[in-house]
């Protein structure tokens, strides 16, 4: 599998990536295109796509700073789900010395429980810390999420580092961000 940084000049690949992103996440959990393109300009943002030949396997959008990686979005082509590609993407992500942090929905249905089990099988640990994700869009609502980390449970200090990064950096690439508020 080849891991490629998503380049908007490569229209064919970009269109496939954007289509998967839009199909995989509800409006409230994804950026509008212009905000996403602004994030591309930030050297801490890594929009990766995984390919086998011309077939898009999946996408992985993450942020990297200091000793952390924050996995913001992970999606596998729906036609290929259940074949181990999600696990391969996660293995690629952890090929570094970074502490990886990600969030999932609260455990309120079978899908959310299966998602937690998927990440736990991949070595991630559910943390006891609360996280309220700010909305990506003006019409969105704040959402309380569960935090997982790899290779071990993060400390309260690491959780605070994560919150600071999300609330100072990631928020800049959400619709309606106003640094003066």
Please provide the DSSP assignment of 81-120 as one string.
TTSSHHHHHHHHHTSSSPEEEEEE--S-SHHHHHHHHHHH
Q: For residue 162, is it within any domain?
A: yes
Confidence (pLDDT) at 179: 61
- Residue 126 β-bridge partners: 148
Q: For residue 179, is it within any domain?
A: no
Q: For residue 178, is it within any domain?
A: no
- Is residue 75 within 8 A of residue 59, CB to CB? The reply is yes
Distances (CA, A) of 9 to 14, 15, 46, 181: 8, 10, 16, 34
pLDDT band with cut points at 50, 70 and 90 for residue 96: confident
Confidence (pLDDT) at 180: 55
Tokens coding 32: 């509008």
Q: For residue 180, is it within any domain?
A: no
pLDDT tens for residues 114-130? Answer: 999 999 999 999 999 98
pLDDT tens for residues 14-59? Answer: 999 999 999 999 888 899 999 999 999 999 999 999 999 999 999 9
Q: For residue 167, is it within any domain?
A: yes
- Is residue 177 within 8 A of residue 171, CB to CB? The reply is yes
Give the total number of structural domains in the chain: 1
Residue 131: domain span: 2-173
Q: What percent of the chain has pLDDT over 70?
A: 98
Residue 120 sits in a domain whose CATH number is 3.40.630.30
Distances (CA, A) of 104 to 11, 42, 53, 148: 31, 24, 31, 8
Given a cut of 70, is residue 145 above it in pLDDT?
Answer: yes
Given a cut of 60, is residue 181 above it in pLDDT?
Answer: no
Q: For residue 181, is it within any domain?
A: no
- The pTM score is 0.93
pLDDT band with cut points at 50, 70 and 90 for residue 138: confident
Q: For residue 25, is it within any domain?
A: yes
Given a cut of 70, is residue 9 above it in pLDDT?
Answer: yes
d(CA 175, CA 139): 9
Which whole number is the average pLDDT over 146-172?
A: 96
Q: For residue 144, is it within any domain?
A: yes
Please count the helices (runs of H) and the strands (runs of E) in the chain: 5, 7
d(CA 63, CA 99): 12
pLDDT band with cut points at 50, 70 and 90 for residue 157: very high
């Amino acid at each position: 599998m080849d891991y490629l940084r998503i380049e908007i000049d490569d229209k064919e690949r970009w269109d496939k990536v954007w289509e998967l992103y839009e199909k995989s996440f509800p409006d409230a959990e994804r950026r509008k295109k212009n905000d996403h393109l602004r994030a591309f300009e930030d050297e801490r943002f890594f929009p990766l796509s995984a390919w086998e030949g011309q077939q898009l396997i999946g996408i992985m959008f993450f942020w990297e700073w200091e000793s952390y990686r924050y996995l913001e979005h992970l999606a596998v082509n729906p036609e290929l789900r259940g074949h181990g590609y999600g696990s391969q993407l996660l293995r690629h992500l952890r090929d570094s010395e970074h502490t990886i942090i990600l969030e999932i929905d609260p455990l309120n249905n079978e899908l959310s429980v299966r998602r937690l089990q998927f990440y736990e099988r991949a070595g991630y640990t559910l943390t006891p810390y609360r996280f309220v994700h700010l909305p990506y869009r003006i019409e969105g609502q704040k959402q309380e999420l569960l935090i997982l980390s790899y290779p071990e449970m993060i400390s309260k200090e690491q959780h605070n580092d994560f919150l600071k990064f999300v609330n100072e950096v990631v928020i800049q690439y959400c619709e309606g961000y106003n640094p003066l508020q």
